[in-house]
Amino acid sequence: MSDPISRLDQFRANTPGAPMKSAAEVRRRGDQIRRRQRTLVAAGAVALAAVVAGPIIFLSAGFGDKAIEPQPAPAPSQTPSTVAPSPSASAPASDLTRANLPSEDDLVAEDPYPQWVLEQTYDGEGRGDHNECLPTLADSGALASFRRDFIAEAGQEYADSAGTLKAVVAEFGSADEAEKARAELSDAASSCTAVDGTEVAGSLPVEGGVVTGGDINVVTYPSEDPNTNAGWEVATAVVAVEDRLVVLTRRRGAQDYVSPTTLQTSAVNAAYRLVGSSPPPATASSSASSSSSSSASAPAAILNDAHLVVAGSLPGLPMEGESSAIWQQVAPQPTPTLYCQGAWLSSLKAAESVSREFRLENGGSQIGKVNVTVLEFAEKENADAAFDTVHGWLDACPASLDDAKLFTARPVESIQIGATPEVDRAAQALAEYAADCGGEGCDATWYDHQTVAQLGTRLVLATHAEAGGPCPPTRACPPEEASDYTEWDNRVAQTVEATVDRAFQDLP
């Protein structure tokens, strides 16, 4: 890393006191700079095989009604196969059609269950009962929507216990409105306040390909059948692609939680259909659910969670009267990996990507942020171009300067990283911006080191941000000697080195 004494001449004690923008405003800022794309990303996500993590006992009596008070739903159509569209579905501003719904081939069936097959397609949201945890998409501002229901192939073993899978696609007036709806629906899916007795079972991000943002939340609730030891499991994937959303709901009876990796792959495939593209062959359901020759030749995934840094490798922040504050991994956040990110990372067109985020709190206040994304590209030339793009983002900080009080302590510069294997090149920039003071003026500031590193076809993006103000998180306030920066610089370097070590561990 560069000599930290260079910051002494550039340090500003009069940090802006305006509050940092809220998460919703950050999402809007990202939407404003995101270019509308309807093209297929060059290489898509690879199908994920689900591993059954324990015995599963299923309800055999079907999916009867449960005594809950869901959101009001429109009355069912007299003709089940064609439900009349809602007024919003006929809005002339939308070009969404049934073709944007996922097909049977896009959906991955979890072993040992049979393949999903089409049951029914609706114009609009059908009867509004596709997910007991969610409000209707019309209530969320959708201009148009379509729905498709799937069941397990009849007559096959385990078909009766596989449950149901329902897909709803919707279009909104803007990418900003779609992201707002996605966040609200994801919150509703994770809490499921419309159903009594629900418990959170787990979650997974949905990333890669054309996906702008998305996640899967799984909740369970007790069965009303006193003769069964299983409960209901509802797994909800909510995925945004520009100004459109797809919601996949898998509902079944189960005793033990199994990570919904098959639904994760299905959601990525559905995202491609949402923008009028076909999923890449590697993500086709047939390659994950059968032993055909095509699946045998499908390329294996390169990136996985093993390439992401863990909380225990991150440096603790020294606190007065305490040894240190401890980092905690958090669910995917609806904000860019880098504060100065000029577009969503899907614009870099990586073949694969994995991400992880951490937060650090003290006394209920957030004092640290670490965001990490690892990107794998099909060719080194693509990785080279992506590195140059990110370098330009760090230099100009286009995503934040338009509506946030921000200043950069120094320009982006090349750095050395003490990691093995040695990286091809790396760059870093320090951005400083006002922290959230609850609507009141204060001198709290985020000091955010943003790093990009490349080795061959792989890139790592990392943020290490610490709260400070009126001084940076240095040993002395104000800092007077180069040694005052040493501990802070070492913490940043430890985060970057630990991140790069994990991301490049399998590369020569």
Question: Domains plus CATH for the chain?
Answer: 4-25+305-503 (3.40.1000), 81-287 (3.40.1000)
Q: Is the pLDDT of residue 469 over 90?
A: no
3 state DSSP class of 413: strand
Strand order in the sheet with 244-254: 116-123, 144-152, 164-171, 244-254, 231-241, 213-222, 199-205
Q: What are the E-state strand segments in 77-205?
A: 116-123, 144-152, 164-171, 199-205
Q: What is the dihedral of CA 33, 35, 36, 39, to 10 degrees?
A: -150
> Cα angle vertex 166, ends 160, 171, to 5°?
175
Confidence of residue 318 (pLDDT cuts 50, 70, 90): confident
Summarised one tens digit per residue, pLDDT across range 256-270 is 667 888 999 999 999
Among 108, 457, 460, 501, CA closest to 302: 457
Summarised one tens digit per residue, pLDDT across range 391-441 is 999 998 876 544 456 677 678 999 999 888 889 999 999 998 887 766 566
Mean pLDDT of the chain: 76
- Report helix, strand and coil shares of the chain as percent, to nearest 5: 25, 25, 50
Summarised one tens digit per residue, pLDDT across range 5-56 is 344 344 433 333 334 444 444 344 344 333 333 333 333 333 323 323 333 3
Summarised one tens digit per residue, pLDDT across range 222-263 is 877 655 555 788 999 999 999 999 999 999 887 666 788 899
Say how far apart CA 113 and CA 120 lie, in whole Å: 20
pLDDT for 430: 93
pLDDT for 37: 35
Q: Is the peptide bond before 478 cis (omega within 30 degrees of 0)?
A: yes
Say how far apart CA 149 and CA 249 lie, in whole Å: 10
pLDDT for 331: 78
The pTM of the full predicted model, rounded to 2 decimals, is 0.48
pLDDT for 460: 97
CA 180 to chain centroid, in Å, comes to 14
pLDDT for 317: 84
Q: Is the pLDDT of residue 166 over 80?
A: yes
3 state DSSP class of 348: helix
> DSSP letters of 220-268?
EEE-S-TT-S-EEEEEEEEEEETTEEEEEEEEEEESS----HHHHHHHH
pLDDT for 442: 72
- CB crowding 332-360: b at 16 or more within 10 Å, else e: bbbbbbbbbbbbbbbebbbbbbbbbbbbb
pLDDT for 321: 61
Q: Provide, rounded to the nearest whole percent, the portion of the chain with pLDDT above 70.
A: 71
More confident residue, 336 or 89: 336
pLDDT for 228: 52
Q: Is the pLDDT of residue 88 over 50?
A: no
pLDDT for 457: 95
Instruction: Tell me the mean pLDDT in the region 132-155.
Output: 91
**Who contacts 364 (Cβ-Cβ below 8 Å, separation ≥6)?**
none
